[in-house]
Amino acid sequence: MGYQQRARTPRDFGRRPGRTTSKAKSGKRREESGAYRSEEEHVLTLEKVVDRTVNSLTRLGSQRFGVPPFYGHFDRWLVNLQIIISEFQTSPTIHADDQFTKESSQILSDIEVALKERRLKEASREEAIRKNSQDLLEAKSLLAQTEREYATRTKEIEAKKELAIKPVAGTVGKLREELNRIARMRAGFLRSISKKTKAQKEAETSQRLNSTKSELAKIKQSFVSEQEKLRKEYKERKQRILEQIANQQKNIEILEAGSEIDDAVGIRRAACDALVNDVNSLLQRNVQTSETTNPPEQ
């Protein structure tokens, strides 16, 4: 009895129709699911860029400058702000539309103008205080110089007075001694001098004494007048200088108290807050655009 080979059944015999189509659909679903995940990763990346930018803007908006002059920090601060916005706009995950470009450019322009005004205001105030302080120092120096000059001039007048009076006063002393000597002389018929001669000598000596005393008085009065003139000029000059000092001190006080100067943290923070709002608004528009372009299949 011979071996009979059995007929083989076709490999696809008995398979249910549509099985291949089911696998194709499953593959399509996996592709769509991968696309959704890719979109989610893109959105997350977008959010990370936005979060980083928002945090940088918040920190920069809260930055304080310790001591004046504050305007020396404004240029560096503005450059940092421009760098943050530039890095955000050039990020490959960000689509900066015309609205964001226009609004952010306007905010940057506005804060630049505002800081320029603050810079000019603070620099002008600083220059005014510097000038008044310099004038104040010069006025005080002039006052000290006036005091020294008055003291020196007073000593000079006293020295000249003493030099002018001394010989005249000496003459007055000698004439008094002479008059006393004549007065002690005994006059008479048997004396060395007659009464007439004695009287004549007394009259002449008295006249010379009175003339010399008058001269001495004039000399003293001339120096008194000179000293009085010097004192008057000194007082008037000193009063003018003291008024200048008082005015300059008052000006400095007004400048320091009249216009409050700070590091412009208010307007800087407001500009950063406005940019944060623009960044968040751009994020929403980017996400909406992405969802519209790649809508999820039901």
What is the DSSP track for 172-187?
A: HHHHHHHHHHHHH---
State the pLDDT at residue 260.
67
What residue type is 273 in one-letter code? D
Task: Taking residues 37-46, report their average pLDDT.
Answer: 54
Torsion (CA) 149, 155, 159, 162 in degrees, nearest 10: 140
- Whether the per-residue pLDDT at 12 is higher than 80: the answer is no
Q: What are phi and psi for residue 172, nearest 5 degrees?
A: -60, -45
State the pLDDT at residue 71.
83
Q: Is there a contact between 94 and 282 (Cβ–Cβ < 8 Å)?
A: yes
51, 130, 165, 185 from 100: Cα distances, Å: 17, 44, 96, 125
State the pLDDT at residue 100.
94
- Give the residue extent of every domain in the chain: 41-293
**CB contact burial 224-254 (16+ within 10 A = b; e otherwise):** eeeeeebeeebeeeeeebeebbeebeebbee
Q: Of 187 and 130, which is predicted with more confidence? A: 130
pLDDT band at 21 (very low <50, low <70, confident <90, very high): very low
State the pLDDT at residue 55.
96
CB within 8 A of 81, min separation 6: which ones? 57, 60, 108, 111, 271, 272, 275
The span from the CA of 29 to the CA of 172, in Å, is 138
- Whether the per-residue pLDDT at 295 is higher than 70: the answer is no
**Where is average pLDDT lowest: 27-31, 86-90, 104-108, 203-207?**
27-31
% of residues, the chain, pLDDT over 70: 80
pLDDT band at 46 (very low <50, low <70, confident <90, very high): confident
- Whether the per-residue pLDDT at 279 is higher than 90: the answer is yes
Per residue in 220-237, pLDDT (tens digit) is: 999 999 999 999 999 999
State the pLDDT at residue 156.
95
Torsion (CA) 270, 276, 277, 283 in degrees, nearest 10: 170
